[in-house]
Each structure stands twice: as C-alpha cells, then as structure tokens.
Chains A and B, each alone.
Chain A
Amino acid sequence: MTETRATAYDSKIEGNVIFTRFDAALNWVRKNSLWPMPMGLACCAIELMAAAASRFDIARFGAEVMRFSPRQCDVMIVAGTVTYKMALAVKRIYEQMPEPKWVIAMGACASTGGMYRSYATLQGIDQLIPVDVYVSGCPPRPEALLAGLMKLQEKISRERSFRNQKPELAEKLEEAFG
C-alpha cells in the first residue's frame, strides 16, 4: 500500500510555485466555493437560513453566496416538502443549472417524502433529480446541514474531475504517455 507523507510548503525552498495534480486543484477550488441554489420550499428553509446566518456560519465553507439564479449556482439545496405541483418547477430549475452541479436533499420531506405519505407529495426529490447527499432531520439542525455540506465536499474531493470533463483529452494523453 502506498504511504502518504504530509509535507509542509516552505516558500524559501520551493519558491512561489507548487506542483499538484490537476484534479486536486480543481476539486479544491470547487468544493470550497459551492454556491448554493436555495430551493427552500418549507420549514427546512428556516434552518437553511439559520445555517446561513451568523451563529452557524455557512460562509466558513464558502457557501454564503445564495444566488437565487440557477445559472450562477453549483449546488441545489432542496429544503422542504416537494409537492407534485412544485416538483416540475424544481426540475426545471435543476436543468437550468450549469455543470458541474450537485444536489443536497435537506430534511425528511426532500429525501423521502417525510411524514407526508399522500396524494400530493412527491416521495423524495430523488424521483426526479439525482441527489448526492441526503440530510435527515425534521428539520435538520443547521449543524447537520453543515455536516452534509462537508460530506459533499469530501465527495467532490474524491471526484476525477479531469477525466469527467475532458474524457477524450484524457484518453489521448493516456495513449501518448502510457
């Protein structure tokens, strides 16, 4: 098994140039500036606002920029009950978000329909859009949402971004350099 060693970066020795993998750099950039699209539909939106406020600062994670325009967002936080009437609007907003995009299903209603097993509630937003992280709770505490956000950050840091974004280039390089 390969061994990893933590090395410190010393500017006197290494100068002002760092070598790293493209994936590591890109993932680091993406995960530390996740701009949420707050799809705050019901009570979980209040806890989302609480997470964005000063006590449970979501700005620590670079995610205080809650742009309500999907074109400028990375992660859609579906916070609240998704009724069938609203579900298509959520899907339309999701489709307007540019890649790369992720989805956090916050709370019981967004994950599985919650306590509403009835004719009017979509039993989980994952029936319509692909979800990356499910946060349980009714509503989840703001710390739980932040933990979900951190889990999403871990997931992003494990992604193979270069390969996902430029598959043909990656193949060509692999052919050329083995």
Chain B
Amino acid sequence: MSGEELLNRFTKAFETKIQCKTEFRDETTYTIAASDLREIAKFCREELSFDYLIDLTSIDNFGEEPRFEIVYHLYSMPHGVHLRLKLKVPEETGVVDTVCDIWPTANWHEREAYDMMGIKFNGHPDLRRILMWDGYPYFPLRKDFPLEGLPSEMPDVAFTKVTPMEGGPFVTIPSMAGSKDREPRAHPPQLQE
C-alpha cells in the first residue's frame, strides 16, 4: 500500500472531521479537532498501520485564539509513509486526550508538553514535570516567558536565578552574507584595531 492509498483511506474515513489539509512537497498535514483525536489516532494505528509516533510537540501562537497547537508526526513502518496531524488547543480549557495507550512513546512527549507549555492531557497515567522540577511555577517555552528566566526558589529541590544576558541573545541574522556578517560578535570588529 503506498502513501497515496493510505491517505485516501484516511480522507474517506474522516471526511467531515478534517478541518484543513496541507500538502508541501511530499508531506501531508491534516488539521483536526481535539475532540476527534482519539478516534483518528486509533484508526491511524490499527487500520492504517501508522505504528510509529515520531514526535509530539506543542506550538505556542501567542496572541492567537486558540493559543496552543499540538503536532503529531506519524510514520508507518511497513509502508514507509509519513503523516502529520495538528490540532488547536485553547489556553483556558487547554486539555487534550492522551494517546499514551495507542503509542506508548507519547508518555514522555506529553509530559514535556505539559512541562514546557502547560497543556494538560486527559487520562495520562503520570502527568508531572519532566525537565523542570515538580513545583516549578512557570511554563518555560511559552512566548511570554523570558529567555533569561524568572527567579524561583524551592529550597532543597532547586532554584533559578535570572541569567545575565550581556547584550544577548546572540542570534544569527538570516541573510545571504557570510558568517562573519550574519553572526553578531560579542566583541564587534571595530574594537579589534
């Protein structure tokens, strides 16, 4: 079964539930509603043999409603076909169904999405922070959290201080110039006489 056939079967099964379909090069992305997630995910795994969840990430579109997007990258090992599913999650009622029982690898990916963005997953067996420590009061990868961090204190567990930025962050400027001009230097060339 080729990629086209798998996608055709998908489209046939969920005609009404696909909100948007994007194709770029050979990649197909379907935008779905959060309430249809489990049904679609089960179908993908069982019927279409998308047995490998490559990644589960979250995007923060700060300023848009709904605020968060969750992206699932699926891959079918027997057929060698990729698929991407996206769904939007509002900030206030930001709860999504878990897919841990369908793809066990989603366990830690969902914990990371919870830790970094604050998106909760219904039915997750162990939803707690994975990179920051339990009790850390912020969600670091949200757009309104500063790169240098906010001070926090939990004695005997961990602490954070605000990092001195020293004129940074030193980010590459996208352009066609060579690396000398694209990349800002901490010691700009006019000082090196």
Q: Which of A's residues lie within 8 Å of B, judged by CB?
A: 84-85, 87-88, 113, 117-121, 123, 127
Contacts and interface: CB of A to CB of B under 8 A. Distances in A.
Interface of B: 131-133, 140, 145-150, 156-161, 163-166, 168-169
Contacts of B169: 117
Nearest to B156: A88
A119 B136 CA distance: 12
Given A117-B169, A119-B149, A120-B149, A84 B163 contact: no
Main secondary structure of the interface of B (DSSP, over half): loop
A87 B156 CA distance: 10
Most buried by A among B132, B146, B158: B158
A117 B148 contact: yes
A118 B169 CA distance: 9
6 contacts: A88-B157, A117-B168, A119-B148, A119-B163, A121-B163, A123-B163
Given A117-B148, A119-B148, A119-B150, A85 B158 contact: yes
B140 to A, nearest CB: 6
Contacts of A87: 158-159
Contacts of A113: 163
Contacts of A127: 161
Contact of A118 (B159, B163, B166): B163
A165 to B, nearest CB: 32
B158 A84 contact: yes
B163 A88 contact: no
Contact of A88 (B131, B158, B168): B158
